[in-house]
A and B are shown apart, each in its own frame.
Chain A
Amino acid sequence: MEFGREIVLATESGTKHFRVHPPAKWRVFHTPISNLLQQTRLAAITIIEPPASADSSRLRSLAAALARKGFTKKAGSHFIVWVTRRAGRQRNLDLALFRPFADPGRVEIARNQDDIGAVLRLLAAKCEVLAERTGTPRLLTPNWRDPTGEARATPSAPKRASSPRPSALEQVHAIIAATKDLRTPGGNLSAAAVAKLFGVSLSRLAKWLGRTRQAVSKAPDAASLQGELSHFERIARLRAVLGNSNDFRKWLRMANQQLDGRTPLQMLDEGRWQVVADLVDDMLTGSPT
């Protein structure tokens, strides 16, 4: 039986968080909390670790926002794990974290590293059993896509997911390091850095993103852009092999046999980012076609 053994760890960008060691055969994806609120598809287990500085009202409003998104309400076996280091008046806080959800039975709270490991082991087992009971081979989201939902596509552009699909290269240090310069010190991807690397104007990139140049220029690393910019980060991973940025820009402008003779840049102009991201993934992993 196959189902999506996926755990999403949502944290505030740039804050310190606990390490998550997934049970065997499970994978962990990391995303900012702001992106989590944009997603429409749920991973089997979502871990939310707000910053230690978050006060009770912030936690309550976050719980309410997640509940409104339908967490624990939708059919299936989706679980939430809150991670909070807060001590004292815990009962009230616990109530606040459970109360907004339609099914509090699918919400857990962990307070330290050991708690997280124990809770994950139990939830993973629960997920397996629930999948067996329903006999649904794809009970859990099989292809969790970072923050999901369809992007605001221009009329001529095809619909696309706001973040690329997961890749086999997610955990490979050298690949991730190849795109480090696209991120700000806070950890967010920067549209300005992407435009520079891809050799396109900020206006052109803004058009791709369905935003105005002014908006992108004002906040090039805005949380709302992160999902869409992730596609470009995926494509930029090619620099792990091509080495320098000039060669990467040349590749973007070369007719490509895999794209029926069109250039990757033409595909980006048409909004077919995932096609190019998939191509790069296939190139790096040597997947035959």
Chain B
Amino acid sequence: MPGVADFERALASAPTIWLRRRLVRMIPRDWLEENEPPDFLFTSGKPNRFNPDGVNCVYFSQDDQTAGAEYLSYWSGTPAEYQPRVTYFARVNLHRVLDLTQPATQLALGFKTDDLHQPWRLARSATLTQMLGAAVARQARVSAIRYPSDAAFRAGDAGANVVVFRNSVRKPDRVDILGPNKKSLQSWP
């Protein structure tokens, strides 16, 4: 199994795309108060599919449908499944993004499709995807990864998510959390 250093070397020449679009996140409305939005660019280094503990990044879905699938992966079967929801948007302009929905990118990094859907929450050591994230956080060429959403995959769709790495976002790249009238509420860098 390749390690972080192997991925770091592979990143130097891996194919990338320019991602300039609006990304989405869906949350339950119940606790949200208009004048008190959460800090969506807050990063605690909490592990997720593409980052081990201590690597700071944020995750978004690429469209509403995928955000909806992600939402249901948490709340399906609970009394809150059909409660009102709120959608948040981020606008990103990222010049070099690894697109793991593309076979060529998977091939360049030695990933198989199954690797992208491996469970990670209960893993006792870093998963392959988390090691790739750790490698991305250590360099500045690539600032984000686009990858197939596991929730959408389980729902029979082909949606994608995007993870943006805090340390790797450098000007002219930019991430904005959008408020009313597309006003930027928060931004990186």
Name A's B-contacting residues (CB within 8 A). 2, 27, 137, 142-143, 158, 165-169, 171-175, 178, 240-243, 247, 250-251, 254, 257-260, 262, 272, 275, 278-279, 281-289
Contacting residue for A137 out of B42, B47, B88, B167, CB 8 A: B167
Contact sample, A vs B, 21 pairs, CB 8 Å cutoff: A2-B56, A2-B166, A142-B56, A143-B44, A158-B124, A165-B44, A165-B45, A168-B38, A168-B44, A172-B31, A174-B32, A175-B31, A240-B31, A242-B80, A243-B80, A254-B77, A282-B48, A284-B28, A286-B88, A287-B58, A288-B161
Q: Find out whether the CB atom of B38 lies under 8 angstroms from the CB atom of A289.
A: no
Binds A, one of B14-22, B65-73, B95-103: B65-73
Q: Find out whether the CB atom of A275 lies under 8 angstroms from the CB atom of B121.
A: yes
Name B's A-contacting residues (CB within 8 A). 25-28, 30-33, 36, 38-40, 42, 44-49, 54, 56, 58-61, 66-67, 70-71, 73-80, 83, 88, 119-122, 124, 149-151, 154, 161, 166-167
Contacting residue for B38 out of A27, A169, A178, A243, CB 8 A: A169
Q: Find out whether the CB atom of A2 lies under 8 angstroms from the CB atom of B167.
A: yes
Q: Find out whether the CB atom of B36 lies under 8 angstroms from the CB atom of A172.
A: yes
Q: How far is the CA of A240 from the CA of B33 in the complex (A)?
A: 12
Q: Find out whether the CB atom of A279 lies under 8 angstroms from the CB atom of B121.
A: yes
Q: Find out whether the CB atom of A260 lies under 8 angstroms from the CB atom of B122.
A: yes
3 tightest A-B CB contacts, nearest first: A286-B27, A168-B42, A240-B31
Q: How many residue pairs bridge A and B at CB < 8 Å? A: 127
A247-B79, A259-B121, A289-B151 are contacts. A143–B70 as well, Cβ < 8 Å? no
Q: How far is the CA of A246 from the CA of B79 in the complex (A)?
A: 11
List A contacts of B44 (CB < 8 A): 143, 165-168
Q: How far is the CA of A87 from the CA of B124 in the complex (A)?
A: 54
Contacting residue for B25 out of A166, A174, A250, A286, CB 8 A: A286
Q: Find out whether the CB atom of B119 lies under 8 angstroms from the CB atom of A260.
A: yes
A172-B36, A173-B33, A174-B33 are contacts. A289–B75 as well, Cβ < 8 Å? no
Give the most central of B32, B76, B79, B88: most A CB within 10 Å.
B79
Q: Find out whether the CB atom of B80 lies under 8 angstroms from the CB atom of A241.
A: yes
Q: How far is the CA of A282 from the CA of B121 in the complex (A)?
A: 12
- Known contacts A279-B121, A285-B40, then 19 further A-B pairs from the complex at CB < 8 Å, ordered by chain A residue: A168-B38, A174-B31, A240-B30, A242-B80, A243-B30, A257-B73, A258-B73, A258-B74, A260-B119, A272-B122, A281-B46, A285-B25, A285-B38, A286-B25, A286-B71, A286-B88, A288-B25, A288-B149, A289-B150
List B contacts of A247 (CB < 8 A): 78-80
Q: How far is the CA of A76 from the CA of B74 in the complex (A)?
A: 40
Give the most central of A137, A241, A260, A262: most B CB within 10 Å.
A241
The smallest C-beta distance from A105 to any residue of chain B, in angstroms, reads 29
